[in-house]
Amino acid sequence: MGRPALRLRWGRALAPYLLVLPGGAWLLLLFVLPIVTLAITSLQSGDFITGFVFSWNFANYPLGLQIYSEQYVHALEYGGSATIVALVVAYPAAYWIAFHAGPRKSAYLLAVLLPFFVSFVIRTLAWETLLSDNGPLLAPLKAIHLLPEDVRVLATPVAVTGGLAYTFFPYMLLPIYASLEKVDRRLVEAAGDLYANRYQVFRRVILPLSIPGVFAGVLLTGIPAVADYVNQDILGGVGTTMVGRVIEQQFEVNTNYPLAASLAFILMLGLLAMLLVYQRLFGTEEIMGG
Amino acid sequence: MTRERDLPRYVEPSFLRGLTASRITRRDALKGAGALGLGTFLAACGVGGSTAPSRVNWVWDKATKTGQLDFANWPLYIDSTQDASGATTHPSLDQFTKDTGIKVNYSEPIQDDPTFFAKIAPELKLGQATGYDLMVITNGIQMTNLQLKHWLVELDPAKLPNFFQNAAPRLKDRSYDPGNRFTIPWQSGFTGIAYNPSLTGREITSFEDLFDPKFAGKVGMMDGNQDTGNLTLIGMGINPQKSTPKDWQKAADKLKKQRDDGIVRKYYDQTYIKALSAGDTWISMAWSGDIFQANLSAGNDDLKFVIPVEGGVIWTDNMCIPVGAAHPLDAITYMNYVYQPAIAAMLAESIDYVTPVPSAKDAIDKDVAQTTDPAAKQSLQATAGSPLVFPSQSEYAHSYYYRELTPSEAGQWNDIFGAVILT
């Protein structure tokens, strides 16, 4: 009699730890360790040939900021605008799917997600082809003189921002959709009973309840968009380099690992600081739209 | 082939001295760190050169033939055909297997030097095998790094008779690997200008055409600062090898003006060719063989390649054996094998870069005589007559290798040109 009870108690006590073990090990191995390594690397000095030595070399940080401040600004600029564009496009779409798509909801969601089963590099390359100066999008417009001959979309900030917004679109749409889906329809009715018009229902009931989804969507889109280095490479041109690409170049081409690491760290800390401010302003207890 | 050859900062000569076994005097070291370039610099430091060198990674006393070879190359850089079942085959490799019994495991992981180097560096650092016995690396910074880090196997000249017999003389005297201790060429090529005559509306001859306001927003430059920097120096009438940091700044200012006037559309990597084909750029810096390949795959003759009258850049991709290679003897057997004129001809007929074996021309001429199919005949004649495969003295005469950079110069070069290109 005693033994099963004992086992049960042991199991009870261990359960939370066992449950957190896979996730914890994952975080430790694939997040904490790399971050620590990165921090150590960013304080090294030396060069690739002689090897890098740890020396509390904080000089990497001001140096990186000084040379590449413009590229940091680009990253915030394009990443930020892309996030806003994605939000403006995704919110109405998510709203419509959640409230008006009826039984075909899953079909529409699938339609949104379907393109994202293809590698995003391939999709970006496809945009490069579509947006080409005499490509299928611009050539007809130029032919009927809606656009002047020398207008281009590729190799401009517009292409980079659009590409980023497109790449991370589902990360914006899905959390917003999930939070809208959870809005209790009876609340909408109740608001109507209290003489709210459609606009007021949206502004005072639906929108506040969907904020957790928006919050999550902005994070999931904004962070990778700011750090991106592929989009700008394919769709950008002169003067559109973001810091992500600088980091890549410093790492691969100049093999200046400490500088690359410090640039990456500045980006991470900057994002973290903005994240905290953002959470203070708009944050909710339940980040994932619970 | 993307080439981003930005230069890292090198070693203090004094440190290298400490690294290397042979003792040298202070004067030698200073001489080496002077304006004589990396080759001399390495030589003075005993990392290559002529004065009774110590062997570096000498594997030939123990190496035996294994019948296998792992070969890492660039895409579209070897002869390919489709066999009956639709699979891609490489006739020259099949021929090699037939002649030597060595099976080649051929792959194309090298998209550009820096990324490939970044991929293999961690393994080499830990003293592990890269999984490749033979790789093709451009003369440039990664090649320099590989040599400085002692990550290449020193070649045994006795095992490369074909190379010493058949290679073009200029290839036996390359400043980035004096005496061919670690590398022998795979193919060379030119950096020049490609253009689409129907879009530019005129034939292009000069480097200055890249600065023509008429082409504003339709000009492609390269994001590798070695290519762009050196071609600009040459375009300004400066011999890169004799250029000073003052000249580099002048060249960078010229490029900066071109950028700020909105003439440059983008600093391209390998993708410049796509932009040219799509008409996004009308005129672009380009690599010689790519243009031939692009016209071939598009089935037209739209694009032209020209070495500007001011001069072009010439570069060489080199075969080398990384340390820890499992099948070095098979690798060196292959390196020697491709220096037979017949095999070099096989490669040249489909790659269309500069073959390292001049006598391959006779082999191609023989193929022309034997071919009955008129289309194939024409293509072979085009190869045999192409100045980009068998350059004449005049192409060589006004083409220059990249500026050799000493450690401190490399950092300067990088900063000066990086400030223009990476924006």
> Is residue B78 within a helix (H) or strand (E), and if so which, with residue range?
none
pLDDT(B36) > 80: no
Q: Which of A6-10, A210-214, B19-23, B316-320 has the lowest mean pLDDT?
A: B19-23
- Higher-scoring residue by pLDDT: A288, B116: B116
B127 burial (CB, 10 Å; 0-12 / 13-18 / 19+) is exposed
| Mean pLDDT score, B109-123 | 90
| Mean pLDDT score, A144-171 | 93
Percent above pLDDT 70 for chain B: 87
By DSSP bridging, strand B183-195 and strand B312-320 are: antiparallel
Chain A interface includes B261 (CB < 8 A): no
> Distance between terminal CA atoms of chain B?
22
| Mean pLDDT score, A153-168 | 95
Closest residue of chain B to A241, computed from CA coordinates: B423
Within 10 Å of residue A178's Cβ, how many Cβ atoms?
Answer: 19
Cα–Cα distance for residue pair A98/A209, rounded to 1 Å = 13
Nearest to B227 by CA among B304, B354, B312: B312
For B222, the token pair is 């390269």
| Mean pLDDT score, B139-163 | 92
Which of A47, A71, A133 has the CB atom closest to B8's CB atom?
Answer: A47
pLDDT digits (tens, 9 = 90+) for A95-122: 999 999 989 999 999 999 998 899 999 9
pLDDT digits (tens, 9 = 90+) for A39-86: 999 999 988 878 899 999 999 999 999 999 999 999 999 999 999 999
B8 and A48 within 8 Å at the Cβ level: the answer is yes
Q: Which of residues 90-149 of B touch A (CB under 8 A)?
A: 114-115, 117-118, 121, 145, 148-149
In the block, tokens 């390594």 appear at A37
CB A249 within 8 A of CB B115: no
Which of A154, A253, A256 has the CB atom closest to B280's CB atom?
Answer: A154
Cα–Cα distance for residue pair B281/B304, rounded to 1 Å = 13
B115 burial (CB, 10 Å; 0-12 / 13-18 / 19+) is middle
A256 and B8 within 8 Å at the Cβ level: the answer is yes
Closest residue of chain A to B415, computed from CA coordinates: A67
pLDDT(B42) > 50: no
Residues in chain B closer than 8 A to A134 (CB atoms): 278-280
pLDDT digits (tens, 9 = 90+) for B305-315: 999 999 999 99
Superfamily of domain A68-283: MetI-like (1.10.3720.10)
Percent above pLDDT 90 for chain B: 61
Closest residue of chain A to B3, computed from CA coordinates: A253
Nearest to B355 by CA among B344, B367, B364, B366: B344
The secondary structure of chain A, three-state, reads CHHHHHHHHHHHHHHHHHHHHHHHHHHHHHHHHHHHHHHHHHCEEEECCCEEEECCCCCHHHHHHHHHHHHHHHHHHHHHHHHHHHHHHHHHHHHHHHHHCHHHHHHHHHHHHHHHHCCHHHHHHHHHHHCCCCCCCHHHHHHCCCCCCCCCCCCCHHHHHHHHHHHCHHHHHHHHHHHHHCCCHHHHHHHHHCCCCHHHHHHHHHHHHHHHHHHHHHHHHHHHHHHCCCHHHHHCCCCCCCHHHHHHHHHHCCCCHHHHHHHHHHHHHHHHHHHHHHHHHHCCCCCCCC
**Side-chain half-sphere of A76: how many Cα atoms within 13 Å?**
12
Q: Which residues pair with B136 in a beta bridge?
A: B319
Residues A104-117 as b or e (16 or more Cβ within 10 Å = b): eeeebbeebeeeee
Helix (H, G, I), strand (E, B) or coil at B25: coil
| Mean pLDDT score, B211-223 | 95
CB B258 within 8 A of CB B212: no
What pTM was computed for the model? 0.83
pLDDT of B407 = 63
Cα–Cα distance for residue pair B360/B349, rounded to 1 Å = 10
Q: How confident is the model at residue B2 (pLDDT cuts 50, 70, 90)?
A: very low
| CB-defined contacts A:B, below 8 A | 80
B271 and A234 within 8 Å at the Cβ level: the answer is yes
pLDDT digits (tens, 9 = 90+) for A210-247: 999 999 999 999 999 999 999 999 999 999 999 999 99
What are the residue boundaries of the structural domains of chain A, listed by start? Answer: 16-57, 68-283
Helix (H, G, I), strand (E, B) or coil at B140: coil
Within 10 Å of residue B389's Cβ, how many Cβ atoms?
Answer: 24
pLDDT digits (tens, 9 = 90+) for B255-295: 999 999 999 999 998 889 999 999 999 999 999 988 887 88
Cα–Cα distance for residue pair A83/A35, rounded to 1 Å = 26
- The distance of A89 to chain B (nearest Cα, Å) reads 29
Which of A49, A129, A133 has the CB atom closest to B11's CB atom?
Answer: A49
pLDDT digits (tens, 9 = 90+) for A162-214: 999 999 999 999 999 999 999 999 999 999 999 999 999 999 999 999 999 99
B422 and A241 within 8 Å at the Cβ level: the answer is yes
B278 and A236 within 8 Å at the Cβ level: the answer is no
Q: How confident is the model at residue A6 (pLDDT cuts 50, 70, 90)?
A: low
pLDDT of B39 = 44
B8 and A251 within 8 Å at the Cβ level: the answer is no
A238 and B8 within 8 Å at the Cβ level: the answer is no
pLDDT(A290) > 60: no
Q: How confident is the model at residue B405 (pLDDT cuts 50, 70, 90)?
A: confident
For B43, the token pair is 């030589």
pLDDT(B111) > 80: yes
Closest residue of chain A to B13, computed from CA coordinates: A50
B11 and A50 within 8 Å at the Cβ level: the answer is yes
Residues in chain B closer than 8 A to A237 (CB atoms): 265-266
Mutate which: A253, A254, A256, A263, vs B, most B CBs within 10 A: A253
DSSP B404: P
Helix (H, G, I), strand (E, B) or coil at B394: helix
Q: How confident is the model at residue B249 (pLDDT cuts 50, 70, 90)?
A: very high
By DSSP bridging, strand B68-72 and strand B134-138 are: parallel
Residues in chain B closer than 8 A to A249 (CB atoms): 4, 6, 422
pLDDT(B13) > 70: no
Amino acid at A216: A
pLDDT of B18 = 43
CB B340 within 8 A of CB B166: yes
CB B225 within 8 A of CB B191: no
Mutate which: A234, A252, A263, vs B, most B CBs within 10 A: A252
Chain A interface includes B6 (CB < 8 A): yes
Closest residue of chain B to A256, computed from CA coordinates: B8
pLDDT(B4) > 50: no
pLDDT of B383 = 87
> Distance between terminal CA atoms of chain A?
42
| Mean pLDDT score, B118-136 | 94
pLDDT(B23) > 60: no
**Axis crossing angle, helix A169-181 with helix A207-227, rounded to the nearest 10:** 160
Residues in chain A closer than 8 A to B217 (CB atoms): 150, 152
What average pLDDT is seen over chain B?
86
Closest residue of chain A to B150, computed from CA coordinates: A49
